[in-house]
Structure 1
Amino acid sequence: MGRYFSALSNEANLLGLKAAYFLLGVDNDKTISGTKISDKQVNEYKQEIAAHTSPNIGFVKVSPIDTKDGKVLVFEIPAAPQGMPIAWKGHYYARNGESLTALNIEKVERIRNQALASDWSAQIIAGASIHDLNEDAIAKARQMFTVKNPRLKDQIQTWDDTTFLNKAKVLIKGQVTHTAILLLGKAESEHFISPASSKISWILKDRDNLEKDYEHFTCPLLLQVESVKAKIRNLKYRYIKDQTLFPDEVDQYDPFIIREALNNCIAHQDYTFGGKINVVEHEDGRLTFANSGSFIPESIEKVIEADTPETNYRNPFLANAMVSLNILDSTNKCRCIYLLNLRTQ
């Protein structure tokens, strides 16, 4: 039943239906034979399905139908959510005619690409206004935009905030987007993107992986990236090269790589999961950056074999805004860093 649940949920999504149906008590030739499954067993099925599907979903409802030939149970299965194919115990299933089969790569990509076509970061927030944005963050954004566009320096100074943020591709015709709240919103404005979260957590762990310290940061993320970076204890190392008595001094971690990793986590997180970005500093000389969401290219091997940037991004509006504000470099904006370990060399 779990395999059929996965298959029917995925096929309902691909056909644009709200639900699919699984019937017990009907034979393959469509004659009714009835079922003696009890309500207790039905509840056990519900629990088992909800526990082993990924993402975890269950039946919409189970409807008994009494006929002269016996009882029929109709299990209503919800269509897979946009962008998220349904797996049963880690495997995706589909229907091929009347047969149960694996969900092929083409169908998996069709479902996953639905999330890309519906850009969460570009959605307009009803009820939010430019007054919900942080003035210091807007000033910083204007400064960074000017660095990116030096030829427009004189014009930029004459623009009001709404005009500037439209030009910077943060607002859409003066309307506040999810991107605007993430990058420039006041801390108390985070509720506008709920159940998504703008939080970044810095966590310090000792050599036994025990937590020693932590701090949480929220929007405006444009200003908080530097605050997170400042928490990381970037030690200085001195090396003496051959044939010299004068040491070279280097940072434990390259500041550019820290900033690049963190900004990519912001740009490519799947905010529909409601998760937060974690920056874990290990005392044995490692940094781990992690965010929510699947790895768009599917595997590291695929990235290496293709040796080209991804053609699809999760949050194109957000990524473009970050490029416009000189936060991300346009050639690097698609480095989907979902888990990056930095070690001292």
Structure 2
Amino acid sequence: MIDQVGSGIRRMFQTQRDRFFPLPDFVLDETEQRQPRVEVIISGQVLDAKYTQLLMKRADLDLRQVLLLDRVQKKRPLSADQAKQLRAMKLIEGRSPNYFVSAKVAEWTGQRASYIRNKGLDDDYYRKLVTDYLKKYGQATRKDMDELLLAKLPEVLDDAQKAHKIRNLLQAMRRDNLIHRTGPKMSAVWRLGVGPVADQS
């Protein structure tokens, strides 16, 4: 599929761009145990039409930047240098490995809602959800907290990261004496205010 004069790989990228398809992924294997080889993965459908159209039409993006943004679209990892380049151009936000397109890119592509879901809301919003719940119902288990908060957390986080975020939020609220936990850890419940002295250790 790729000719031997060096132009084939670039042509494959250009063809995918022209067809508004996601760009191919190349894996270079240069291990000592075998001959060097190149593996290519070609996606046959558009993952996000508007986003892909951005990659095709932005005259201010060169091919390298297009390739890196395509990796963000596919949720593939970026190196520190790659992320630094895209950050410098204000094209991505987030922390490694959970990068997402910036507000500027979301504005270009009409993805404002998706940007907000990826960026998430500030902790004050999550804290208010917790305190409002506890004012209404008096107490909550961790399962209750998960049901309350999971759907509100950034989409860019995986399940383990979301669970970690909720745990950190509850512990921070506990340290600030906004809520306290009672009972054995596996069956503990959360309530408003400062708990017994023993609970604060």
TM-score using structure 1 length: 0.23
Q: Greater strand percent: which structure?
A: 1
Higher relative contact order (CA 8 A, sep 6+): 1
TM-score using structure 2 length: 0.34
